[in-house]
Amino acid sequence: MNLGTLLTHSARHFPDNRAIVHGPRILTYAQLAHRTNQLANALDRLGLSPQDHVAILMGNCPEMLEAMFACFKMGYGAVPINFRLHPSEFGFIIDHSQAKAVIVSPEFNDSIQQIREKIPQAKHLITVSEAEGELLDYESLLVSESDQRDDKVVMPEDVAWLFYTSGTTGQPKGAMLTHRNLMAMTVGFFADMCPGFGFDEAVLHAAPLSHGSGLYALPNIAKAATNVILESKSFDPNLVLKTIERHRVTNFFGAPTMIKKLIDAPQIDQYDHSSLKAIVYGGAPMLVDDLTKAIEKFGPCLVQLYGQGEAPMTITYLRHQDHVLDDDAVHRKRLGSAGFARTDAEVQIVDSDDNPLSAGKLGQIVTRSDLVMKGYWRNPEATAKALKNGWLHTGDIGYMDDRGYLFIMDRSNDMIISGGENIYPREVEEVLVQHPAVREVAVIGIPDPEWGEAIQAVVSLAPGKTTTEAELINFCKDHIASYKKPKSIVFVDELPKNNYGKIMKRELREKHWDGKMRRVV
């Protein structure tokens, strides 16, 4: 089934339901379907063909959902891009994805034109504002088109969403998520994550629509739920709490750092959040102490997910029923787990030869299901490494208890997750070593009470050279997205190395993580 039919069906059966609320702006499902069809027809008129890619670079706004569903309807691969990336980074994604069109919100008008020569395959640049230069005006394209459009026939393995996730080499990888993958994710949401999810829900999008919140827009639209899009680009706890009360929000997805900000907000008890049925959280570490406080504040409405861009939302989940506070030691320990496999997913722990391990044994987490990506776009080597023997190798290290609850202990790569954002150390290291004073550098994640992990760079200087912490952090800001810059710099004479000359990052991390569980959920 074409994912676009989720919108088509909801608009047919519930045309007057509120589809999107964005500040004072409200779109019904009939209006959302009409505008989406107009955009689909406009892209078709521009000459795009099925399985072409369309890059979507926007802050959270109604047009982002319109663009995604227009792509689904036409059989194009949508390429939503993290709006926090540096222009050189989103330029790479647009070029690597071979996107034929790029749709941007107004704040990217200048930067998309500045990198124009680096994205030659993008034939059409469309802006949700007044057009300037070679940019095409989004609204002008819509008004000239019919609001009628049949959804294209697609194959289950056709790419619907090209999900770019950073790679250990510093270059992002595009996980090819198919119509089959995302339909399985949608059905799994109803079966496991939020059973009983109905047609009268109000779902808050406080996290980027280019990531998990956008993925969860699919089941929301399938049930003709209201998508309440937060106006602010930053996470403002007061605004979130006010929005939950005003719109009687029943569900929202967020990173643990967002949940922590809510429970720490002095004003939390001033607002009515009793409408909440499910707070779905994941994508970053959450300490048991923080989770305990969240349960005390919000009640048993939390649901945890463990997934990856390569197997989206969700591999395992910790149910509402597992978010309980009592004196049972087993229950308490399971609050530190990532739950168990969702209904139609298989999960195993394997050794280095892919042999399954028994309960309690530490190994790599692998999974297989209809959720697992088709592969990485234009990266057969990475695809072969990730998809072996029919299983997705997550790169995460963990174990299962005797009841199948998954405990994630570490990552086989050195990825840092800070505030729900994936940061690969080599991306930061490759910038820092360009500074003339830096001889060697190792970037690690260290515990942070707010963000889960903070980025720390351990630097040895070139002979006779000097620099400061502030100078190196600012140097990073000029080359990569701000959220990837180190929060601290430690200067050492020599970095620890093994007999082969490889820097031993584990030794650098141990003093920070001693006695703490380093895990990603």
225 burial class (0-12, 13-18, 19+ CB within 10 angstroms)? buried
What does the pLDDT read at residue 504?
82
Q: Any idea which fold 416-513 has? A: GMP Synthetase; Chain A, domain 3 (3.30.300)
- What angle is formed at CA 372 by the lines to CA 371 and CA 374, rounded to 5 degrees? 120
- Within 8 A by CB and 6+ apart from 34, the residues are 147
SS3 478: coil
- Parts of the chain belonging to CATH 3.40.50.12780: 5-298
Number of H helices, E strands in the chain: 17, 26
pLDDT tens, position by position, for the chain (521 residues)? 899 999 999 999 999 999 999 999 999 999 999 999 999 999 999 999 999 999 999 999 999 999 999 999 999 999 999 998 999 999 999 999 999 999 999 999 999 999 999 999 999 999 999 888 899 999 999 999 999 999 999 999 999 999 998 644 458 899 999 999 999 999 999 999 999 999 899 999 999 999 999 999 999 999 999 999 998 888 899 999 999 999 999 999 998 888 988 998 999 999 999 999 999 998 765 778 789 999 999 998 999 999 999 999 999 999 999 999 998 988 988 998 999 999 999 999 999 999 999 999 989 999 999 999 999 999 999 999 999 999 999 998 889 999 999 998 766 667 788 888 878 787 898 899 889 999 889 999 999 988 889 999 999 999 999 999 999 999 999 999 999 999 999 999 999 976 445 688 888 988 898 766 554 33
Residue 186 structure tokens: 């949608």
Please state, in angstroms and rounded to a whole number, the distance separating the CA atoms of residues 145 and 168.
Answer: 44
Cα 389 to Cα 184, 345, 394, 441: the distances in Å are 21, 16, 13, 36
Number of CB atoms found within 10 A of residue 143's CB = 9
- Parts of the chain belonging to CATH 3.30.300.30: 416-513
Residue 69 structure tokens: 């569903």
SS3 196: coil
Instruction: Supply the Cα-derived Rg of the chain in whole angstroms.
Output: 23
What does the pLDDT read at residue 419?
87
What sign does the CA torsion over 219, 224, 226, 231 have? positive
Residue 516: DSSP 8-state: S
| CATH classification number, 5-298, choose in 3.90.550.10, 3.40.50.12780, 3.60.70.12, 3.30.530.20 | 3.40.50.12780
What are the helix (H) ranges across 285-379? 288-298, 329-334
